[in-house]
Structures are given as structure tokens and as C-alpha cells.
Structure 1
Amino acid sequence: MNEAFLQRMQILLKDDYEAYLETLKQPPFRGLRANLLKIDPQTLQQRGFARLWPSPFAPEGFLMDSTLTGLGSHIYHRQGLFYMQEPSASSAVTILDPQPGDWVLDCCAAPGGKSTQIAARIGQEGFLIANEIDGGRARVLMSNLERLGVSEALITHASPEQLCPQLSGLMDKVLVDAPCSGEGMFKKEDQAMTDWSVEHVRACSLRQQKILESAVVCLKEQGVLVYSTCTYAPEENEQVIDQFLRRHPEMELLDCGVEFGRPGLSVGRVDGAKVRRIFPMDQGEGHFIAKLRKISPQPQARLQTVKSVQLPPEVQAFLKDQLKTYKDLHVHLEQNRLSLMRHEFIQLKKIPVLRQGIMAGEIVKNRVEPHHHFYLSALLRDRLTKTISLNEQELACYLQGQPLPIPAPRGYLCLMYEGYPVGFGKSDGTVIKNKYPKGLRTR
């Protein structure tokens, strides 16, 4: 145990300090969240794959037994029906309250728990920009958005300073789930407590203020920004918000409007009753959340959209063969990679883009080779023309990468299990060649 950290916690918690110490002896809280793009929480719970009980932090969230293992390889996880998430981590998006049709920026988005939660809340009508500065983590973010079937999203890999000026005044909601000292996650990461120092806390505070300075310009008038961390340090929480409000009179602090957790600290311009803190005594690991609104006009950037072009015959043939309808979708072809979504594709200047929309496939030798994302997409699930339902034995073979001796229409087809896509294969009429991604296969 880091004694300097514990002394600070004793001052912060006062009478609740002993209760906090007791929680450090307990395993971390564990939970999962239903993916609203594909399934409602009640239906997911009724499938009986795990003992779940409602989370206080999100209506689509659940708590589960901390000893339960193996859900990361469960078929429902592979199908993107749920996302494994520490329960209180869903609190920030509950407070952000994204609505269908909202344009939302998740400024520090990896590994994707909050981004996928936002995407499910805004549905196919809204648009998500999920940004992550770290390249490796950005690829994990992309993988999670793909698995959960998100289509209406742009995944960028840039610093907030680079990205945010191009989004000036365009966002209804912005989430800054800021990198922090991680004090609330010490039960999960023993080394983090050993490495903890006041100097690190202060360094995090400076970085958090810098991110907020970039993010605030993205908000339109009456737009809402939620700032969250998974740390207890006032220097990274209330003090960051106090300094931010002093620099930005166009922003006002709102009440978080929830009952979970407990009030925060009153510091300068921060009314502690309006912000929210979560401790392990509140059924989740440590979190802090503040909600702010822009009350002044913000100049709007002009987004450049990608112009429509005539699609090559092989692309038209692929879409006609695989989808019942696609005329309402925007289609983008770049370097032989085919992407689809409901929204127009946008162009940003000098911003690395990992993915925009659904990665549908790639033109290879005058034909389209489909991508896994095409079949896992929630948007396209009911439009697919060729589907085959697998039983448990066939599913096990498919996940291992084996060919399936099942009569089926020739060509590419979607393989389903219990009504939801698992992946795809290519049939010659009698045998389905396995196209499940090699990195996802079971042994």
C-alpha cells in the first residue's frame, strides 16, 4: 500500500475511510452492458448465460459475480450483444444522456466502452466521432466498435489539439473521459498504486486541462460536455473543473441529475452538490463526473463531405447480391476499400482516420472480398439476403475455422446463431468455406 495515497484518502473520506479500506480487500466490481443496437437488456438477461442483476449506473447495465470467467469468449460477446464493463464506467454516458440524432465526440475514446454505449444511445440517426491519440489503443477501439456493429461513426487517431478546431460548434454532446492517475482502479492494477505519486497526479491535471481547452470548442450553443475520470484526486476532478470554469464564462456547471454515487467537493466555482463521485462503497469502482453546458454561440466549422462517384460494376453487383436494399446508404470507395453508412462521409484535414462507417469489403481481382464488419453491422442485419442458421455443433466448428458441409446458396453468406450474425463464409453449394477472422478463432 502507498502510505501517502492512503493518508490523502483518509482526509478525503473522513468517517467513510474505514469502509473504503474494507473495499480494498474485496475483488473489483464486474459487470456488462447490453448493446442496445442489437438487443434490449431484458432479452439479454433472459438468455440466462450468466447471473446478472441491474446496475445502478445505467439502465442497460448489469452487475455480475466477480468470480465468473470466460464471458470474453462467449458467443454472445463475439456477436456483440454485450460489452464487458466495470459497472460505474457507464455512469458518465448516463449523465451525458446522448439522444437519437445527436452528434457526439468521444475525445479520449479507447478502449471503447463509453463510445459503444454512446453509439447505442444515438442509434442510426446520430453520428459518433471517436478519437484516440494512442495508435495501439485506437485499433482496440476500432475492434470493439466493429464487434458491436456500429456503423454511424468516424474513428480518428489524433491529438485533441489537432482534431477539435475542425469540429468547432458542430457537436451536441462531448465526452472527455480524461486520462488520469487511475486511483479508482487500484484494485485492478496493483502496480498502479505502487507507482502512484503526487507529482503524477499534478501532471495528469495539467494534461486534463489541456484536453478540455481543445474539446470545448466543438460544442454548439446549448451543447453539453461531460468530464469524467476514474480517480479520487481533487486536483484531477473538482479543481480541474474550477479552473476550467474560470477560463470559460461561456460554460455553466449543471447538476448531474442522478441518484447514484454521492456529491463531490465544493471548490471555487464548483458546487459539490452538482458533481458526482463514486466510491467502491457505492457498488462501483472510483469515478468522478461533472456536467457542463455552453450558453454562448460558437462559430461553426464547415465540414467537407465526400462527393458521390459512380460505383464500379463489381461493387454494384456485390451490394445487389448481398443486400435487399442499399439505395438509402452512402457508399464510399477509397484505395479499393468499400465503406457504407447512412450519413454522408466527411473529410478532415491531416487527421488520420482508422475507419468511417462500415468496412464492407475490398476489391480484389475484380470482385469484392467482404469484411467481417459488414456482417456484424447492426444497420445491415435485416437487409442481408443470404443467411444460414447454425446449430451448436456447427457453431463450434465455425469458430475453430473449419469448413462446414452444409448445402447453401453459392457465394458469400452470413452465418447466424440464435438470430444474430456470427460472421460469414463462402459456399460452393455443398460446403461453406470458413471466413471467420483467424485472430478470433478458438483452438
Structure 2
Amino acid sequence: MNEQFLNRMQTMIPDEFEAFMASLDQDLYKALRINTKKVDPDRFPEPGLLGKPSPFADHSWYVDRPLGLDPYHICGLFYLQEPSASGVVGLLDVQKDDLVLDLCAAPGSKTTQIAQKLESGMLVCNEIDAKRAQALLSNLERMGVVNFALTNSESGPLCAAFENCFDKVLVDAPCSGEGMLKKHAIVAQTWSMDNILMCAARQKEIVSNAVRALKGGGVLVYSTCTYAKEENEEVVAWILERFPEMELVDCGAAFGRPGLKTPGMDASKVRRVFPMDGGEGQFMAKFVKKGDASNTPALLKNEKPNATERAFLREQVEGDFSFFHHSKEKLFRMEHAFLDFGKLKVVRQGVLVGEMKKNRFEPAHAFYMAADTMDRLKNKVSCGLCEMDAYMHGEQIRIEGEPGFVGVCFDGYPFGFGKSDGHRINNKIPKGMRLLPKSHVRMDGEEQQ
């Protein structure tokens, strides 16, 4: 462990330094957050997994085991999230019809948490790294998010294009990651003051752009997973000095503890979490933008599906969807009007329904995973754990049924789709989402049907 880092921590929390050091030898805190878009928390099918309720967020519980291969995780019924990280989104006070920007979004824990709170509103989530953006997209699809746009952009151009547009903005800033020492050993190995100062400079640049995108009266939440004062309280003080229109308000959180005393800001209004508080390292601050300046983002014209696409939708789901957009041969849909991003790079906007291929329509995995499609599917089959495991490895499974495209479900929850010939289902799980040969669906206890 870096001696300079330890000396800084001892100065920061002298009375709790021994407890902090002891916490580094303890297991990483783990929690799951139930996806309320797919399941009622009171009817969560595996209550035996849930430990103590987390103090950081609703519908979140501590867990004591890895659950990435749990069948309900694969179906998108829950997200595995470090407990204290889940406390950030509550500060945004997201309303169901808000337009929200998550400016540094991957891998998606807070992004999908925001999406759970939206109904008629929309989420724009941005990730500057293209590879991480794809990981984020995978999580958005698994959790069934519908009203979203995923952009792959520098924060400056994106925020300039949507000046004064967003009701809520989250800056979960890239940081030195001191709070993730137990999860990522490289954090300790590469720790340096130079890196901390570099991160602080980058954080100020991102926040400057975020302020521009926030409308008057809107809420901005700034968070990191580091202990470094230079990236936390000192950034808050800099924001208040640089942007007089930004007011620091009390987080209103019952968890964690106040921040460190810092000139230019009220440390009692921000929140810190140390491992002694029941979670890994986290910092958060909440701002309100004074004034009433606001803009309405430009929208794309709503497009109608073609005859082949309409026939597919009538065959597959009950009821209608509201908004559609075509990009080349692909069809997308949402329950919010599509935004016009101009020349900005958009990885995905809305649910990918599928695409036209040689005058036929080939549906997409995302269509069957969408939370508002799940209960409206006309054509679906149910399989047990062994069949689910085989299917997640790319194999065909034998299930009798009507020929055609079908949602493939476990316990009534879709985890993919296939094409049935009446006896067997041809596997349509995207190759990148299939399990590796030595990975298997968790099968504790008897097989569930």
C-alpha cells in the first residue's frame, strides 16, 4: 500500500484510521437492486438471497455471494451494485417525466437506477469510451430500459447541443478510485498525487459542461468513488466560485457522514461514505441551478413502421407502441419522442426492434428484453434451468410449440428469443451475450420451472 496514501488517510480520519485499515481486509460490500420495471419487489422470486436492507437506496439489499450467473440476473430482474454507489441517484429526485442526463454513465449501475424512476420521461446516458459504451448498452438491454439514448461523445459538444435542456444531470465523475481499493488492486499500485490532480482537472471540465446542459431550477449531482479531498470538497468549492448560478443544497441523506471542512463550501451539506459506514468509498454533492432559463430539445419526426414491420408487431405483442424511428434498415421504438442529436455519435436511441433483411424482418434481442414488452408477448415459451443454461451457451433446445419467432423465458421472464420450427428453437442469443464454456447458470436447489 502506498505510504503517502496511508498518511493522508490517517490525517483525514485519525480516530478511525485503525478501523479503516481493518476494513481493507474484509470482503467487498455487495448488494443487489431489484428492477421494479420487471418485478414487484414484494414478489421477488428469490427472497432467500436478500440480506439486510441497504440504507442507501430503496429496493436494495446486501448479498453475500456472487450472483452474475443467477437466472433472474440474466433475465434483468436485478442489478448487482456496490451499496453506497446506489445512494447517489436518490439525491437527483428524478420525477417520472424528467429529461435526465447521465454524463459519465458506464457501466450502468446508476444509469439503470435512474431509468427505473422514469415513465414518460427520458434518459440520455453518455460514455466517452466506445468499449465501455457497449458494456453499458448490454446492461441497458438486460434491464429492459425503453426511453433512453446512449451517446459516445465528449461532454463539451453534447452539453452545448442541449444547453439548458435537462431537468436533472448526474456527473458520476471519473476519479482516482481510492474507494475501490478492495475491488481493483491496481488502484493502490498506481496511486499518485499527480493522478489525483489530473482527475480533479478533468472533473472540473466535465462539470463545467454539465452546468451548461442543466436548465434553470434543475438539479445537478456530483459524485466520485474516491476519498481525495482534491476531487471532492475542493471541486465543490470550485464550482461555487466559478458558477454563481449554482447553489449547494443539503443532500438530505441519512446515510454516511458530512464532508471535510473546506474553505468556500458548507461541508455539512455534502455526504461521504467510508467502509465503516456500510459501503465502499463514495462522495456526493447536490446543486440547484438558479433562474428559469430552459430550452426544449429538438425532436425527430415520428415514423410509421412499414407493412412487414407492422405485421411482425401485431404477431408478437398486444397493443401498440408510441414512437418509432428508422436508421437504415433498422427499426427502433420508445414511449418518448426521439431526440435529434445532429452530428453527435449515438450508439443507440430507444429499443432496437429489429431490421429488414432481404424483404423479411429479423427481430432483435433487445425487443424481447424490454420491460414494457415482457407482459405483452403473445408468443413465448418457458424452460427450466438446464434448458436455460444450454440456450445461454448457444445451443438449440427442444420445446414443442407454434412455428415462428418466440420469446424464451425462465419462470415467465424473457432472457432472449429464438425461431421455432414447432419442435426445436433455433438460438438467437447474440454471440457476445452467450456464456463462456466454463460458466453456467446458477442451479442452487431443485430445477425451477
Smaller-chain TM-score bracket: over 0.9
- Please tell me the residue identity of whatever aligns with 1:306: L
Quote the residue 1:316 is aligned against. 310
Shift of 1:299: 4.6
Q: Which letter does structure 2 place at the counterpart of 1:400?
A: H
Instruction: Give the CA deviation at 1:43.
Output: 2.6
- Cα pair distance change 1:388/1:255, threshold 3 Å: same
CA displacement at 1:94 relative to structure 2: 1.6
- TM-score, length-normalised on structure 2? 0.94
- Structure 1 equivalent of residue 122 of structure 2: 127
1:334 equivalenced with 2:321 (yes/no) = no
1:190 pairs, out of 185, 192, 211, with: 185
Find the residue that maps to 2:26 and give its secondary structure: coil
The question of 1:100 aligning with 2:96 is answered yes
Q: Which string of whole-angstrom CA distances, capped at 9 and with x for unpartnered residues, describes residues 325-378 of structure 1?
A: 22x421111110111111111111221000011011111111111111000000
1:261–1:279: 8 Å Cα contact kept in structure 2?
A: yes
1:175/1:225 contact within 8 Å kept: yes
Which residue number in structure 1 is paired with residue 52 of structure 2? 53
Residue 411 of structure 1 aligns to which amino acid in structure 2? G
Deviation for aligned residue 1:77: 1.0
AA matched with 2:5 = F
The whole-number CA distance in structure 2 between the counterparts of 1:196 and 1:396 is 41
Which residue identity lines up with residue 182 of structure 2 in the other structure?
K
List gaps (5 residues or longer) in structure 1.
none
Tell me what 1:244 maps to.
Answer: 239
Q: Secondary structure at the match of 2:200?
A: helix
Equivalent position amino acid for 1:235 in 2? E
2:78 is aligned with what amino acid? Answer: F
TM superposition shift of 1:411? 1.0
Instruction: Letter of the 2:394 partner, please give it.
Output: G
Which amino acid is 1:62 matched to?
W
CA distance in 2, matches of 1:13, 1:102: 39
The answer for the alignment partner of 1:379 in structure 2 is 372
Query: TM-score, normalised on structure 1?
Result: 0.95
Q: Distance in 2 between matches of 1:315 and 1:158?
A: 31
Aligned to 1:40: 40
Structure 2: how far apart are the matches of 1:404 and 1:19? 53
Structure 2 matches for 1:1-400, cutoff 5 A?
1-44=1-44, 47-48=46-47, 50-65=49-64, 68-69=65-66, 71-122=67-118, 124-300=119-295, 302-326=296-320, 328-400=321-393
3-state secondary structure, aligned to 2:8 = helix
Cα distance in 1, alignment partners of residues 156 and 358 from structure 2: 41
Question: What is the CA–CA distance in structure 2 between the aligned matches of 1:299 and 1:414, rounded to whole Å?
Answer: 42
What is the Cα deviation at residue 309 of structure 1? 3.8
Give the Cα separation in 2 of the matches to 1:432 and 1:142: 26
Aligned letter for 1:224?
Answer: V
Task: Give RMSD over aligned pairs.
Answer: 1.5
Question: Is 1:419 matched with 2:408?
Answer: no
Secondary structure at the residue paired with 1:291? strand
Query: In the superposition, relative to structure 1, how do residues 287 and 310 fare at CA in structure 2: closer, same or farther (>3 Å)?
Result: closer
**Separation in structure 2 between the aligned mates of residue 258 and residue 246 of structure 1, nearest angstrom:** 24
Amino acid at match of 1:384: L
CA contact (8 A) 2:303 2:323 kept: no
Mapped to 2, the partners of 1:364 and 1:375 lie a distance apart of 19
1:85-133 CA distance string (max 9 Å, x none): 11111111022221211111000000001000000112x3220000011
Kindly provide the CA deviation profile for residues 200-227 of structure 1, in whole angstroms up to 9, marking residues without a partner as x: 1111111101000000111112110000
Distance 2:88 2:430 in 1: 33
3-state SS in 2 of match to 1:305: coil
SS in structure 2 of the partner of residue 208 of structure 1: helix
Give the counterpart letter for 2:34 in structure 1: A
CA distance in 2, matches of 1:309, 1:126: 20
Question: After alignment, is 275-284 or 243-252 more displaced?
Answer: 243-252
1:49 is displaced (CA, Å) by 5.5
AA aligned opposite 1:412: F
Contact 1:399 1:436 in 2 (8 A): yes
CA deviation vs aligned residue, 1:275-334 (integer Å, no higher than 9, x gap): 00000000100000000001113252x5322223453221121112112122x4211111
Amino acid at match of 2:306: P
Aligned pair partner of 1:404 in 397, 400, 416: 397
> For the Cα contact (< 8 Å) 2:304–2:324, is it kept in 1?
no
Shift of 1:170: 1.5
Q: Which amino acid aligns with 1:381?
A: M
Kept in 2, the 8 Å contact 1:168–1:298? The answer is no
1:162-205 CA-to-partner distances (Å, cap 9, x unmatched) read: 10011112111100000011111111122211211111111111
CA distance in 2, matches of 1:399, 1:422: 9
- 2:446 match: none
3-state DSSP of counterpart to 1:179: coil
> Does 274-283 or 427-436 show the bigger shift?
427-436
